[in-house]
Structure 1
C-alpha cells in the first residue's frame, strides 16, 4: 500500500479517539473566552507574518478546540497543510471539517485535491462532484470527468463531458496543459472536454467517434497540441 495512503488511513483511525481536556471551556465566562481567542488570533497572525507555520498551526488547533462551532479555524488549518504540501494532513483536516459542515466549499476543494495527490482517486471524485454541484465551477466538472475516466467509469465520464461541452461558459473558461517544450498551453474548457471525450472513445476502440471528438477539440482550440497528437494516434487505430 502506498505509504502516504497508509498514513492517511492511520490518521483517520486515530482521529476517532478523544482526549480529556485540561480546561473545560464550557465553564469559562464569555469575556475570558474572548480574551483568549483574541490572544491566539494575534499570535497566529504574527506567526503567519513571520512564516512560522508550526506556531500558526498550533494556535489554530487551540482555537478549534475552544470554538467547536466556528468553521473558519479548521478551514484555515486545512489550507495551511495543503499549501505546505502536507496532503495527508490536509486531507484529514478537510474531511474533519466536512463532518462539521458538509457545505464547506473550502473543505470540499482541499479534500478533493489532497486525496487526488495521495492517489485516492475514488475518494477524491465525490468531493469534486459535490464541489461542482455547489459552485458550478467547470474545472471541478472537468476534474470529475477525468477521474471518472481514470477509474474506468466511462459512461459517467461521457455524461460529465457532455454536460461540460453544452455549458456556454465552456468556451470562456480556460485550463492549462503541458506542451512538448515543457511549457503550459491554455485552451478553453470545451476543447479540453472534447479532447477527453476522444480519449474515452479511444479506450473503447471507437475510432470514428474518437477522431471526430479530437477534430472538434482542434476546431475549438486550433493550436491545442495535445489534441493534435491524440488525433494522430486515433487515426492510426
Structure 2
C-alpha cells in the first residue's frame, strides 16, 4: 500500500512538473497595440511615482517590464542604467550600459555610464574606449581629458600626449573647469587647459624628460598660480 502511494505521488509530481515546463516554454501571448499602450501608461505612472518617493526597487521593476514590452525602445534601458549608476551600483550600471550599446552604439548616455562605471571598477582598459567614443560623438573636453589621463595610466604615453595636446590647443579648454580634491577636503576648480598642462608634465616625467615636464608645469602655473596639484607636480619635477 505504501509503495503504491509513493508511486502515485511521484506520478502526480511528474505531471505537475511537465505542466509547469510546458507553461514556461509556451510562447508569451501577443498583446495588441492598444493593450501595450495602456500598460505602458500605467507602468510609466508607477515608475514616476516610485522615483518621486525614492522607491528605486519598484522603479527598476517597472523599467524591466517596460523594456520587456518595448524591446526596441532605448529610453527604458537608459533610465535603468542611470538608476544603477546614481545608486553607486557600478557593476550593474556597466553591464546594463554595455547591453544598451549593443542596441545603439551611439548612445551618448550609455557611453558615459559605461566609461565612468568601468573606471570606478578599476577597469581602465575597458573604460578608455568609451571615453574616446564619447568625446568623438560629443566633443566633450572633459571626456578628452579623461581619455588622456587613462592613456597615461595605461602607459600609452604617445597617445596620451596626442590627446592632451588636442585638449590644450582647444580654445574652450581655457573656459571650462575641472575640480581637484585638496588636502583640506575642499575642491579646487581650475581650467581644463591648466589641468591638461599638468597632465602633460606628468607624462613627460614618466618619459624621464625633465625639460619638457618643467616647461609644461610652468605653463600650467602661469595660467593659475594657486593650482595646488601643479605645485606638487613641479616639486616632483625638481627632484628629477
What TM-score do the two structures reach when normalised by structure 1?
0.89
Distance 2:159 2:36 in 1: 49
Partner residue in 2 for 1:211: 214
Q: CA RMSD in A?
A: 1.2
Superposition misfits of 4+ residues, deviation over 3 angstroms = 19-22
Distance 1:89 1:30 in 2: 31
**Aligned partner (choices 77, 89, 92) of residue 89 of structure 1:** 92
Distance 1:22 1:176 in 2: 53
Partner residue in 1 for 2:232: 229
Partner residue in 1 for 2:203: 200
Structure 1 unmatched runs, 5+ = 1-18
Structure 2 unmatched runs, 5+ = 1-23
Partner residue in 2 for 1:23: 28
- Give, in angstroms, the shift of residue 23 of structure 1: 2.8
Distance 1:203 1:77 in 2: 40
Partner residue in 2 for 1:188: 191
**Aligned partner (choices 51, 54, 58) of residue 51 of structure 1:** 54
Ranked by relative contact order (alpha carbons within 8 Å, sequence separation 6 or more), the top structure is: 1
Relative to structure 1, is the Cα distance of residues 224 and 21 closer, same or farther in structure 2, using a 3 angstrom cutoff?
A: farther
Query: 2:106 aligns to what SS in structure 1?
Result: coil
- State how many pairs are aligned: 217
2:119 pairs with 1:110:
no
- Give, in angstroms, the shift of residue 232 of structure 1: 1.5
Query: 1:81 aligns to what SS in structure 2?
Result: helix
Distance 2:180 2:91 in 1: 26
Distance 1:174 1:147 in 2: 19
What is the CA deviation profile of residues 195-236 of structure 1, one whole-angstrom value per residue up to 9, with x for unaligned ones?
A: 000000111111111111100010111111110111111012
- Give, in angstroms, the shift of residue 60 of structure 1: 0.1
Distance 1:180 1:231 in 2: 17
What TM-score do the two structures reach when normalised by structure 2?
0.88
**Aligned partner (choices 97, 101, 104) of residue 98 of structure 1:** 101
